[in-house]
Amino acid sequence: MMNHALFLSVATAAVAATAPVQLIIDTDLGFDVDDVGAIAVAHALADQGRVDILGIVCNTGRDSCIVGVDIVNTYYGRSTMPIGSFSGKFGSYTDNGQDSHYINDIRDKFPHTVNSRSDVPSALDVYRSILQKAENKSVTIASIGETTNLQDLLRNEMDLVRQKVKKVVYMDGDFNFGCADGAYGPNDECWESAQYVVANMPSPDIEQIFQLHGDNHNGWWVGNDAKCGMDTSNPVKVAYRDMCNNAWSGVCDNYGRDSWDLNTVYVAIMGSSSGGKCAIGGGRSCAYSVSSDGKTEYRNYNDNSQNMYDFNLIGDVSSVGNTIETLLCQPPNHGPAPTPTPGTEWQLRKGKNCYGSRSGAAAHGARDLETPVYASCGTMSIAACKQKCNQLQGCTGIVVQPSGNLYNCYRKADIALGQCDSNTEFDTYLKSSAI
Protein backbone atom coordinates (compact mmCIF):
# COMPACT_ATOMS: atom_id res chain seq x y z
CA MET A 1 0.00 0.00 0.00
CA MET A 2 1.28 3.46 -0.87
CA ASN A 3 2.12 5.36 2.30
CA HIS A 4 0.55 8.71 1.49
CA ALA A 5 -0.30 11.22 4.19
CA LEU A 6 -3.98 12.00 3.80
CA PHE A 7 -5.79 14.81 5.50
CA LEU A 8 -9.58 15.15 5.84
CA SER A 9 -11.60 17.71 7.77
CA VAL A 10 -15.31 18.31 7.44
CA ALA A 11 -17.53 20.54 9.54
CA THR A 12 -20.43 18.12 9.25
CA ALA A 13 -22.90 19.94 11.46
CA ALA A 14 -22.24 23.25 9.72
CA VAL A 15 -22.67 21.69 6.29
CA ALA A 16 -25.88 19.95 7.31
CA ALA A 17 -27.39 23.29 8.32
CA THR A 18 -26.73 24.90 4.96
CA ALA A 19 -28.53 24.59 1.65
CA PRO A 20 -27.32 21.84 -0.72
CA VAL A 21 -24.30 22.73 -2.83
CA GLN A 22 -25.26 23.46 -6.46
CA LEU A 23 -22.73 21.34 -8.36
CA ILE A 24 -21.58 20.74 -11.93
CA ILE A 25 -19.04 17.92 -12.44
CA ASP A 26 -16.60 18.27 -15.36
CA THR A 27 -15.05 14.83 -15.90
CA ASP A 28 -12.71 12.87 -18.18
CA LEU A 29 -14.32 9.55 -17.24
CA GLY A 30 -13.00 6.70 -19.37
CA PHE A 31 -9.27 7.28 -18.96
CA ASP A 32 -9.36 5.73 -15.50
CA VAL A 33 -11.94 4.28 -13.15
CA ASP A 34 -11.52 7.02 -10.52
CA ASP A 35 -14.09 9.32 -12.14
CA VAL A 36 -16.78 6.65 -11.77
CA GLY A 37 -16.11 6.63 -8.04
CA ALA A 38 -16.03 10.42 -7.88
CA ILE A 39 -19.43 10.74 -9.56
CA ALA A 40 -20.82 8.05 -7.24
CA VAL A 41 -19.59 10.04 -4.22
CA ALA A 42 -21.59 13.02 -5.47
CA HIS A 43 -24.71 10.89 -5.92
CA ALA A 44 -24.35 9.39 -2.44
CA LEU A 45 -24.04 12.88 -0.93
CA ALA A 46 -27.02 14.01 -3.02
CA ASP A 47 -29.02 11.17 -1.44
CA GLN A 48 -28.06 12.68 1.94
CA GLY A 49 -29.31 16.10 0.85
CA ARG A 50 -25.82 17.64 0.80
CA VAL A 51 -25.73 18.53 -2.89
CA ASP A 52 -27.89 19.09 -5.95
CA ILE A 53 -26.05 17.74 -8.99
CA LEU A 54 -27.10 20.15 -11.72
CA GLY A 55 -25.35 18.33 -14.55
CA ILE A 56 -22.27 16.37 -15.59
CA VAL A 57 -20.15 17.22 -18.62
CA CYS A 58 -17.37 15.25 -20.27
CA ASN A 59 -14.21 17.19 -21.17
CA THR A 60 -13.04 14.67 -23.77
CA GLY A 61 -14.68 13.43 -26.96
CA ARG A 62 -14.93 9.83 -25.80
CA ASP A 63 -18.20 7.96 -26.13
CA SER A 64 -17.17 5.90 -23.10
CA CYS A 65 -17.39 9.02 -20.93
CA ILE A 66 -21.00 9.71 -21.87
CA VAL A 67 -21.96 6.06 -21.41
CA GLY A 68 -20.21 5.75 -18.04
CA VAL A 69 -21.82 8.91 -16.68
CA ASP A 70 -25.27 7.74 -17.82
CA ILE A 71 -24.80 4.31 -16.22
CA VAL A 72 -23.91 5.80 -12.84
CA ASN A 73 -26.69 8.42 -13.04
CA THR A 74 -29.22 5.73 -13.90
CA TYR A 75 -28.09 3.49 -11.04
CA TYR A 76 -28.70 6.32 -8.59
CA GLY A 77 -32.13 7.12 -10.04
CA ARG A 78 -31.08 10.34 -11.82
CA SER A 79 -31.21 9.22 -15.45
CA THR A 80 -32.70 12.53 -16.64
CA MET A 81 -29.81 14.62 -15.31
CA PRO A 82 -28.26 16.80 -18.07
CA ILE A 83 -25.13 15.31 -19.65
CA GLY A 84 -22.91 17.16 -22.13
CA SER A 85 -19.84 16.27 -24.15
CA PHE A 86 -16.79 18.16 -25.32
CA SER A 87 -17.47 18.96 -28.96
CA GLY A 88 -13.87 18.57 -30.17
CA LYS A 89 -11.79 15.50 -30.94
CA PHE A 90 -9.50 15.44 -27.92
CA GLY A 91 -9.56 11.92 -26.45
CA SER A 92 -12.07 10.62 -28.97
CA TYR A 93 -10.02 7.92 -30.64
CA THR A 94 -9.15 5.84 -27.58
CA ASP A 95 -12.54 4.42 -26.60
CA ASN A 96 -11.50 0.85 -27.31
CA GLY A 97 -8.18 1.14 -25.52
CA GLN A 98 -7.20 -0.78 -22.43
CA ASP A 99 -7.88 2.14 -20.12
CA SER A 100 -11.60 2.35 -20.96
CA HIS A 101 -12.27 -1.39 -21.14
CA TYR A 102 -14.11 -1.28 -17.82
CA ILE A 103 -16.74 0.97 -19.42
CA ASN A 104 -17.02 -1.38 -22.39
CA ASP A 105 -17.66 -4.11 -19.82
CA ILE A 106 -20.31 -2.40 -17.71
CA ARG A 107 -22.15 -0.94 -20.72
CA ASP A 108 -23.35 -4.48 -21.48
CA LYS A 109 -24.43 -5.13 -17.89
CA PHE A 110 -26.19 -1.98 -16.70
CA PRO A 111 -29.05 0.20 -17.98
CA HIS A 112 -28.26 3.33 -19.95
CA THR A 113 -29.97 5.32 -22.69
CA VAL A 114 -27.06 7.06 -24.39
CA ASN A 115 -24.43 5.33 -26.49
CA SER A 116 -22.38 8.14 -28.00
CA ARG A 117 -21.83 11.85 -27.64
CA SER A 118 -24.18 12.43 -30.57
CA ASP A 119 -26.95 11.51 -28.11
CA VAL A 120 -26.29 14.51 -25.85
CA PRO A 121 -25.82 18.28 -26.23
CA SER A 122 -22.40 19.90 -26.16
CA ALA A 123 -20.84 20.57 -22.78
CA LEU A 124 -20.88 24.28 -23.58
CA ASP A 125 -24.64 24.17 -24.19
CA VAL A 126 -25.22 22.29 -20.94
CA TYR A 127 -23.09 24.75 -18.99
CA ARG A 128 -24.91 27.67 -20.57
CA SER A 129 -28.37 26.22 -19.89
CA ILE A 130 -27.60 25.38 -16.25
CA LEU A 131 -25.92 28.71 -15.46
CA GLN A 132 -28.69 30.75 -17.06
CA LYS A 133 -31.20 29.15 -14.68
CA ALA A 134 -29.00 29.30 -11.57
CA GLU A 135 -29.09 31.88 -8.80
CA ASN A 136 -26.28 34.41 -8.81
CA LYS A 137 -23.02 33.22 -7.20
CA SER A 138 -24.50 29.80 -6.46
CA VAL A 139 -22.73 27.21 -8.64
CA THR A 140 -19.69 25.13 -7.71
CA ILE A 141 -17.72 23.35 -10.45
CA ALA A 142 -15.70 20.21 -9.67
CA SER A 143 -13.10 19.91 -12.43
CA ILE A 144 -11.76 16.34 -12.36
CA GLY A 145 -10.32 16.22 -15.84
CA GLU A 146 -8.82 18.32 -18.58
CA THR A 147 -9.88 21.97 -18.82
CA THR A 148 -11.17 21.91 -22.41
CA ASN A 149 -14.78 22.67 -21.47
CA LEU A 150 -13.85 25.41 -19.02
CA GLN A 151 -11.73 27.03 -21.71
CA ASP A 152 -14.68 26.97 -24.12
CA LEU A 153 -16.99 28.29 -21.41
CA LEU A 154 -14.76 31.25 -20.55
CA ARG A 155 -14.19 32.12 -24.20
CA ASN A 156 -17.93 32.19 -24.87
CA GLU A 157 -19.70 33.07 -21.60
CA MET A 158 -17.29 35.02 -19.40
CA ASP A 159 -19.98 37.34 -18.02
CA LEU A 160 -22.33 34.44 -17.27
CA VAL A 161 -19.56 32.62 -15.40
CA ARG A 162 -18.73 35.72 -13.36
CA GLN A 163 -22.38 36.17 -12.48
CA LYS A 164 -23.38 32.60 -11.59
CA VAL A 165 -20.29 30.63 -10.48
CA LYS A 166 -19.23 30.71 -6.86
CA LYS A 167 -16.31 28.27 -6.74
CA VAL A 168 -14.14 26.00 -8.91
CA VAL A 169 -12.30 23.06 -7.35
CA TYR A 170 -9.58 21.64 -9.61
CA MET A 171 -8.02 18.21 -9.56
CA ASP A 172 -4.90 19.57 -11.20
CA GLY A 173 -1.43 18.18 -11.77
CA ASP A 174 0.52 16.86 -14.74
CA PHE A 175 -2.13 14.56 -16.18
CA ASN A 176 -5.10 16.92 -16.16
CA PHE A 177 -3.53 20.35 -16.50
CA GLY A 178 -0.90 18.82 -18.80
CA CYS A 179 -3.56 17.33 -21.10
CA ALA A 180 -2.21 13.81 -20.52
CA ASP A 181 0.98 14.74 -22.41
CA GLY A 182 -0.99 14.58 -25.64
CA ALA A 183 -1.38 10.82 -25.29
CA TYR A 184 -5.08 11.10 -26.06
CA GLY A 185 -4.73 13.87 -28.70
CA PRO A 186 -5.21 15.81 -30.81
CA ASN A 187 -3.61 17.93 -28.14
CA ASP A 188 -3.96 21.30 -29.91
CA GLU A 189 -7.51 21.57 -28.50
CA CYS A 190 -6.29 21.08 -24.92
CA TRP A 191 -2.76 22.45 -24.96
CA GLU A 192 -2.42 25.60 -22.84
CA SER A 193 -6.07 25.30 -21.70
CA ALA A 194 -5.16 25.10 -17.99
CA GLN A 195 -2.98 28.19 -18.27
CA TYR A 196 -5.84 30.01 -19.98
CA VAL A 197 -8.53 28.87 -17.52
CA VAL A 198 -6.62 29.71 -14.34
CA ALA A 199 -5.55 33.09 -15.73
CA ASN A 200 -9.00 34.03 -17.03
CA MET A 201 -11.38 32.59 -14.44
CA PRO A 202 -12.86 35.81 -12.99
CA SER A 203 -10.84 36.44 -9.87
CA PRO A 204 -11.31 37.33 -7.06
CA ASP A 205 -15.04 37.07 -7.83
CA ILE A 206 -14.78 33.25 -8.03
CA GLU A 207 -12.92 31.16 -5.47
CA GLN A 208 -10.43 28.78 -7.10
CA ILE A 209 -9.19 25.77 -5.08
CA PHE A 210 -6.37 23.50 -6.22
CA GLN A 211 -5.58 19.92 -5.23
CA LEU A 212 -1.92 19.69 -6.14
CA HIS A 213 -0.57 16.32 -7.25
CA GLY A 214 2.65 15.44 -5.51
CA ASP A 215 1.65 17.26 -2.32
CA ASN A 216 0.59 14.04 -0.56
CA HIS A 217 -3.07 14.88 -1.09
CA ASN A 218 -3.96 11.54 -2.62
CA GLY A 219 -7.33 9.96 -2.06
CA TRP A 220 -8.18 6.37 -1.34
CA TRP A 221 -10.96 3.98 -2.02
CA VAL A 222 -10.59 0.26 -1.33
CA GLY A 223 -11.78 -1.19 -4.62
CA ASN A 224 -10.72 -4.84 -4.32
CA ASP A 225 -11.31 -5.52 -0.64
CA ALA A 226 -14.26 -3.26 0.18
CA LYS A 227 -15.75 -3.77 3.61
CA CYS A 228 -19.30 -3.92 2.22
CA GLY A 229 -18.36 -6.67 -0.22
CA MET A 230 -18.70 -7.02 -3.96
CA ASP A 231 -22.21 -6.03 -5.04
CA THR A 232 -22.65 -7.05 -8.67
CA SER A 233 -25.75 -4.85 -8.97
CA ASN A 234 -23.55 -1.78 -8.33
CA PRO A 235 -21.80 -0.60 -11.53
CA VAL A 236 -19.20 1.32 -9.52
CA LYS A 237 -18.11 -1.82 -7.69
CA VAL A 238 -18.03 -3.81 -10.91
CA ALA A 239 -16.05 -1.11 -12.70
CA TYR A 240 -13.42 -0.96 -9.95
CA ARG A 241 -13.09 -4.73 -9.85
CA ASP A 242 -12.68 -4.84 -13.62
CA MET A 243 -10.07 -2.08 -13.59
CA CYS A 244 -8.11 -3.49 -10.67
CA ASN A 245 -8.11 -7.02 -12.06
CA ASN A 246 -7.53 -6.36 -15.74
CA ALA A 247 -5.92 -2.96 -16.30
CA TRP A 248 -2.28 -2.07 -16.75
CA SER A 249 0.21 -3.10 -14.10
CA GLY A 250 0.29 -0.97 -10.96
CA VAL A 251 -3.10 0.71 -11.23
CA CYS A 252 -4.28 -1.08 -8.06
CA ASP A 253 -2.59 -2.92 -5.21
CA ASN A 254 -3.99 -5.36 -2.66
CA TYR A 255 -6.01 -2.57 -1.02
CA GLY A 256 -7.56 -0.91 -4.05
CA ARG A 257 -7.04 2.18 -6.14
CA ASP A 258 -5.15 5.29 -5.05
CA SER A 259 -6.61 8.43 -6.63
CA TRP A 260 -7.42 12.12 -6.37
CA ASP A 261 -10.76 12.36 -8.16
CA LEU A 262 -12.99 11.30 -5.28
CA ASN A 263 -11.37 13.75 -2.86
CA THR A 264 -11.85 16.65 -5.27
CA VAL A 265 -15.59 16.06 -5.63
CA TYR A 266 -15.92 15.45 -1.88
CA VAL A 267 -14.18 18.73 -1.07
CA ALA A 268 -16.28 20.61 -3.67
CA ILE A 269 -19.36 19.50 -1.73
CA MET A 270 -18.28 19.19 1.90
CA GLY A 271 -15.46 21.72 2.10
CA SER A 272 -12.02 21.37 3.61
CA SER A 273 -9.40 23.18 5.62
CA SER A 274 -5.70 23.70 5.10
CA GLY A 275 -2.71 24.16 7.31
CA GLY A 276 -0.50 25.30 4.47
CA LYS A 277 0.60 28.76 3.48
CA CYS A 278 -2.32 29.14 1.09
CA ALA A 279 -5.14 28.24 3.45
CA ILE A 280 -8.86 27.90 2.79
CA GLY A 281 -10.89 29.92 5.23
CA GLY A 282 -9.22 31.96 7.92
CA GLY A 283 -5.88 31.82 6.17
CA ARG A 284 -4.56 33.70 3.21
CA SER A 285 -4.87 33.17 -0.51
CA CYS A 286 -2.10 32.95 -3.08
CA ALA A 287 -1.95 33.96 -6.71
CA TYR A 288 -1.64 30.84 -8.89
CA SER A 289 -0.41 30.57 -12.45
CA VAL A 290 0.21 27.60 -14.71
CA SER A 291 2.90 26.92 -17.32
CA SER A 292 1.85 26.66 -20.97
CA ASP A 293 2.24 22.87 -20.96
CA GLY A 294 0.20 22.59 -17.76
CA LYS A 295 2.93 20.68 -15.95
CA THR A 296 4.01 23.36 -13.51
CA GLU A 297 1.97 25.51 -11.14
CA TYR A 298 3.36 28.58 -9.44
CA ARG A 299 2.16 30.19 -6.22
CA ASN A 300 2.85 33.82 -5.45
CA TYR A 301 2.64 33.91 -1.67
CA ASN A 302 2.90 37.69 -1.67
CA ASP A 303 -0.25 38.24 -3.73
CA ASN A 304 -3.21 37.51 -1.47
CA SER A 305 -5.85 39.25 -3.57
CA GLN A 306 -6.87 36.51 -6.00
CA ASN A 307 -9.14 34.23 -3.89
CA MET A 308 -7.06 31.17 -4.86
CA TYR A 309 -6.20 28.38 -2.41
CA ASP A 310 -4.92 24.84 -2.12
CA PHE A 311 -6.59 22.30 0.12
CA ASN A 312 -5.46 19.65 2.55
CA LEU A 313 -7.49 16.70 3.75
CA ILE A 314 -7.10 16.04 7.45
CA GLY A 315 -6.80 12.40 8.59
CA ASP A 316 -4.93 9.27 7.56
CA VAL A 317 -5.22 6.60 4.87
CA SER A 318 -7.60 4.49 6.91
CA SER A 319 -10.00 7.27 7.91
CA VAL A 320 -10.20 8.74 4.42
CA GLY A 321 -10.69 5.30 2.91
CA ASN A 322 -13.51 4.58 5.35
CA THR A 323 -15.18 7.94 4.69
CA ILE A 324 -15.20 7.48 0.93
CA GLU A 325 -16.00 3.80 1.07
CA THR A 326 -18.97 4.36 3.35
CA LEU A 327 -20.44 6.66 0.72
CA LEU A 328 -19.84 4.15 -2.07
CA CYS A 329 -21.37 1.34 -0.01
CA GLN A 330 -24.47 3.47 0.62
CA PRO A 331 -27.40 2.04 -1.39
CA PRO A 332 -29.15 4.49 -3.72
CA ASN A 333 -32.28 6.10 -2.31
CA HIS A 334 -34.27 4.87 -5.28
CA GLY A 335 -32.78 1.38 -5.29
CA PRO A 336 -30.73 -0.22 -8.06
CA ALA A 337 -31.98 0.26 -11.60
CA PRO A 338 -33.62 -2.77 -13.20
CA THR A 339 -31.66 -5.15 -15.38
CA PRO A 340 -31.83 -4.03 -19.02
CA THR A 341 -34.32 -5.86 -21.20
CA PRO A 342 -33.79 -6.88 -24.83
CA GLY A 343 -34.47 -4.19 -27.36
CA THR A 344 -33.24 -1.22 -25.34
CA GLU A 345 -30.17 -0.51 -27.46
CA TRP A 346 -30.61 2.31 -29.98
CA GLN A 347 -29.32 3.00 -33.48
CA LEU A 348 -29.06 6.54 -34.85
CA ARG A 349 -30.20 7.35 -38.39
CA LYS A 350 -29.03 10.91 -38.88
CA GLY A 351 -31.16 13.26 -41.00
CA LYS A 352 -34.09 10.83 -41.19
CA ASN A 353 -37.58 12.21 -40.55
CA CYS A 354 -40.16 9.44 -40.16
CA TYR A 355 -43.83 10.32 -39.68
CA GLY A 356 -47.29 8.95 -40.32
CA SER A 357 -50.25 9.79 -42.47
CA ARG A 358 -51.57 13.30 -41.91
CA SER A 359 -54.51 15.15 -43.49
CA GLY A 360 -55.01 12.32 -45.96
CA ALA A 361 -51.40 12.37 -47.19
CA ALA A 362 -49.40 9.15 -47.32
CA ALA A 363 -47.24 8.15 -44.36
CA HIS A 364 -43.49 8.78 -44.59
CA GLY A 365 -42.12 5.65 -43.02
CA ALA A 366 -43.76 5.54 -39.58
CA ARG A 367 -46.91 5.60 -37.48
CA ASP A 368 -47.26 8.57 -35.11
CA LEU A 369 -48.00 7.81 -31.45
CA GLU A 370 -48.65 11.32 -30.13
CA THR A 371 -52.02 13.06 -29.76
CA PRO A 372 -52.55 14.97 -31.96
CA VAL A 373 -50.35 13.06 -34.40
CA TYR A 374 -48.20 16.05 -35.33
CA ALA A 375 -47.48 17.03 -31.71
CA SER A 376 -44.34 16.26 -29.73
CA CYS A 377 -44.39 14.74 -26.26
CA GLY A 378 -42.22 17.60 -25.01
CA THR A 379 -38.81 19.24 -25.27
CA MET A 380 -36.03 17.32 -23.52
CA SER A 381 -32.69 15.56 -23.88
CA ILE A 382 -32.37 12.63 -26.28
CA ALA A 383 -31.90 10.31 -23.29
CA ALA A 384 -35.17 11.53 -21.77
CA CYS A 385 -36.95 11.12 -25.12
CA LYS A 386 -35.78 7.50 -25.29
CA GLN A 387 -37.16 6.95 -21.81
CA LYS A 388 -40.49 8.40 -22.92
CA CYS A 389 -40.53 5.87 -25.75
CA ASN A 390 -39.74 3.01 -23.37
CA GLN A 391 -42.70 4.07 -21.22
CA LEU A 392 -45.18 3.90 -24.13
CA GLN A 393 -46.37 0.50 -25.28
CA GLY A 394 -45.67 -0.12 -28.96
CA CYS A 395 -43.04 2.61 -29.33
CA THR A 396 -40.13 1.34 -31.42
CA GLY A 397 -38.29 4.57 -32.15
CA ILE A 398 -38.11 8.32 -31.75
CA VAL A 399 -37.68 11.28 -34.07
CA VAL A 400 -35.99 14.33 -32.56
CA GLN A 401 -35.74 17.93 -33.72
CA PRO A 402 -33.24 20.42 -32.22
CA SER A 403 -34.84 23.09 -30.03
CA GLY A 404 -32.22 25.28 -28.42
CA ASN A 405 -30.04 23.09 -26.21
CA LEU A 406 -32.65 20.30 -26.19
CA TYR A 407 -34.88 18.43 -28.65
CA ASN A 408 -38.56 18.12 -29.55
CA CYS A 409 -39.44 14.46 -28.98
CA TYR A 410 -41.75 12.46 -31.25
CA ARG A 411 -42.50 8.79 -30.52
CA LYS A 412 -43.06 6.41 -33.43
CA ALA A 413 -44.02 2.85 -34.36
CA ASP A 414 -43.80 0.69 -37.53
CA ILE A 415 -40.74 2.59 -38.78
CA ALA A 416 -39.62 1.81 -42.35
CA LEU A 417 -36.45 3.85 -42.89
CA GLY A 418 -36.54 3.51 -46.67
CA GLN A 419 -39.77 5.51 -46.75
CA CYS A 420 -38.63 8.29 -44.40
CA ASP A 421 -37.50 11.74 -45.56
CA SER A 422 -33.71 12.10 -45.73
CA ASN A 423 -31.22 14.94 -45.17
CA THR A 424 -33.52 16.85 -42.82
CA GLU A 425 -32.90 18.64 -39.51
CA PHE A 426 -34.56 15.68 -37.78
CA ASP A 427 -32.80 12.51 -36.57
CA THR A 428 -34.38 9.12 -35.96
CA TYR A 429 -33.33 6.64 -33.26
CA LEU A 430 -34.46 3.04 -33.61
CA LYS A 431 -34.61 0.39 -30.91
CA SER A 432 -32.40 -2.50 -31.94
CA SER A 433 -35.37 -4.86 -31.79
CA ALA A 434 -37.07 -2.80 -34.52
CA ILE A 435 -34.16 -2.95 -36.99
pLDDT digits (tens, 9 = 90+) for 67-123: 999 999 999 999 889 999 999 988 876 655 555 678 877 888 888 888 888 889 999
User: Is residue 224 scored above 60 in pLDDT?
Assistant: no
159-205 pLDDT, tens per residue?
Answer: 999 999 999 999 888 888 999 887 777 788 898 999 999 999 998 99
User: Is residue 259 scored above 50 in pLDDT?
Assistant: yes
Find the helix packing angle between 235-246 and 34-47, rounded to 10°.
160
130-131-132 Cα angle (round to 5): 95
Rg (CA), the chain: 22
Q: How far apart are CA 205 and CA 167, in angstroms?
A: 9
Phi, psi of 329 (to 5 degrees): -85, -10
Torsion of CA 227, 231, 235, 238, to 10 degrees: 80
pLDDT band at 247 (very low <50, low <70, confident <90, very high): low
* Bridge-based pairing state of the strands 51-58 and 83-85: parallel
Residue of 426, 406, 407, 409 lying closest to 365 (CA atoms): 426
Computed over every residue of the chain, the mean pLDDT equals 81
Residue of 202, 200, 212, 206 lying closest to 171 (CA atoms): 212
Residues of the chain with CATH 3.50.4: 346-434
Q: Does domain 346-434 have CATH number 3.40.50?
A: no
Q: In this predicted structure, what is the pLDDT of residue 321?
A: 60
Whole-number percent of the chain with pLDDT over 70: 78
Residues of the chain with CATH 3.90.245.10: 12-329
User: Is residue 313 scored above 90 in pLDDT?
Assistant: no
Say which CATH topology domain 12-329 has: Inosine-uridine Nucleoside N-ribohydrolase; Chain A (3.90.245)
